[in-house]
Amino acid sequence: MPELAAHVRYVPVNQVREITEAAWATPGAIVLSIGEPGFALPRHVLDAGIACLDRDETNYTPNAGIPALREAFAARFREQQHVQIGAERVYVVDGAQQGLHFAMSLLLAPGDEILIPNPGYPTFAMTSRLLHAVPVEYPLYPENDFQPHIEDIEALITPRTRVIMLNSPSNPLGAVISEEATRQLVGLAVRHDLWIISDECYEAFTFDVPHVSPARYDSDVPGEARVFTSLTLSKTYGLTGLRIGALVCPPGLEQKMNNVMESIVSCVASPSQYAALAALTGPQDYVSHARDHYRSNRDAASAVLSGKGIPYLGAQGAFYLWADVSHVTDGDVRTWVRKFLADAGVSFAPGTAFGSIGEGWIRIALCGGQQDLLDGVSRLPARV
């Protein structure tokens, strides 16, 4: 048979899925390797999706999404980030991952470079490679609390650099980029005439620090604005399987956005859109309950790690803990997590799933039940 295209043959295995699927196949395993909210969806959200089907409202919607949902996303962004955007800049997408692919499709030509965090979410590199672009990793070091440093990023900029990828709150780190650093990063993009794609999947979940979108510091003048913001309801409301998010574009790109949206997905399923509308405009108890649960789990798991002498990054957001288990991994955390699953019945995501700086680290998901979380973390070998 003919060969696949080279850029597909060399897309790496997603190590998070690798260990998680092994855990799902292991009877009785405690699965702490994947970020899947575990609460039942609010009834009014389910009812809205069901009502859409009952009305047989199953035809195409506009490329950009139903108007009411676009406005609901815009209203939330205005309220949360004090950015005066209109619904015309909001494009409803088939989950944040499709939104990222959408943005990169607009901005990256073959051979262009995109600066991505290391450690960072695996699909940042995977998606850019599928578009024949070149991912270039900027380092997030433990000694800097895994915060980006402007000098480290600026040193990597070349004539082929087109995009800086930001992610705050961070998956896998739980780190939140400060307001001042966010302002400086936008300034860096302006100086070098670069785009910014800001992945804000976990914007609803920060602890004692604010989430600040780079869009706050972007221009509102067409031709000068440069920030694309990727949002999702997968984490905020637990709608992972409904595949619903939004991509907020700079002003002046609306027609181009429509053209590209048509070629990628046409439009998002209407029942998912109406469920999302109900989530955004209805009671917000789910979000506040989830935030309290993740904070409680973070504190409880952190106490166990501290008792075992295991270093970790104090999570400021998202629902993950980033822990240093290099004392037992012998320089190969990917192999160690498979062995630990077999021996101890617990799965963690290996740090190398997120980049080379993740060697010796694991990501612990905090979104499930607290007893399972504590049982799993308590099985980690103490650092002596």
Give yes or no: residues 303 and 195 share one domain.
no
Residue 1 falls inside a structural domain:
no
Does residue 270 sit in the same domain as residue 367? no
Q: What are phi and psi of 218, to 5 degrees?
A: -85, 155
Mean per-residue pLDDT pooled into runs of 10, the chain (384 residues): 83 89 96 90 96 96 96 97 94 95 96 98 94 96 96 98 98 97 97 98 96 95 94 94 95 89 91 98 96 97 98 97 98 98 98 98 96 98 92
Answer yes or no: do 120 and 237 share one domain.
Answer: yes
Which pLDDT value is given to residue 131?
93
**Cα separations (Å) of 200 from 24, 205, 342, 348?**
28, 10, 34, 23
Write down the pLDDT at residue 384.
80
Same-domain status, 169 and 30 = no
* 289 vs 238: CA distance, rounded Å: 12
Answer yes or no: is 30 within a domain: yes
Please report the pLDDT score of residue 39 as a whole number: 87
Q: Which residue has the tokens 């005066």?
A: 84
Q: Is residue 27 part of a domain?
A: yes
What is the span of the domain harbouring residue 76? 43-281
Which residue do the tokens 């936008």 mark? Answer: 186
Residues 31 and 58 in one domain: no
pLDDT value, residue 350: 98
Tokens 């955390």 correspond to 333
> Token pair of 40, please?
């039942």
Say if residue 224 is in the same domain as residue 263: yes
- For residue 383, being part of any structural domain is answered with no
- Burial (0-12, 13-18, 19+ Cβ within 10 Å), 184: middle
Show the tokens assigned to 220. 């509102």
Residue 295 and residue 261 share a domain: no
Q: Which of 281, 299, 322 delimits the end of a domain?
A: 281
CA 324 to the chain's CA centroid:
21
CATH number at residue 317: 3.90.1150.10
- pLDDT at res. 7: 81
90-93 and 245-248 beta bridge pairing: antiparallel
The pLDDT value given to residue 12: 77
Same domain, yes or no: 62 and 37: no
Give me the sign of the Cα torsion angle 192, 195, 199, 203. positive
Same domain, 173 and 292: no
Question: What whole-number distance in Å separates Cα of residue 322 and Cα of residue 310?
Answer: 10
Query: Quick count: other Cβ atoms within 10 Å of Cβ 355?
Result: 21
CATH value at residue 130: 3.40.640.10
> Does residue 334 lie within any of the structural domains?
yes
Residue 251 CA to residue 85 CA, distance in Å, equals 9
- Residue 84 and residue 210 in one domain: yes
Question: In the listed set 246, 266, 281, which residue is the last one of a domain according to the structure?
Answer: 281
Residues 163 and 303 in one domain: no
Domain count, the chain: 2
What distance in Å separates the CA atoms of residue 115 and residue 157, rounded to the nearest whole number?
8
Q: Is residue 384 part of a domain?
A: no
Domain boundary among the residues 223, 258, 281 is at: 281
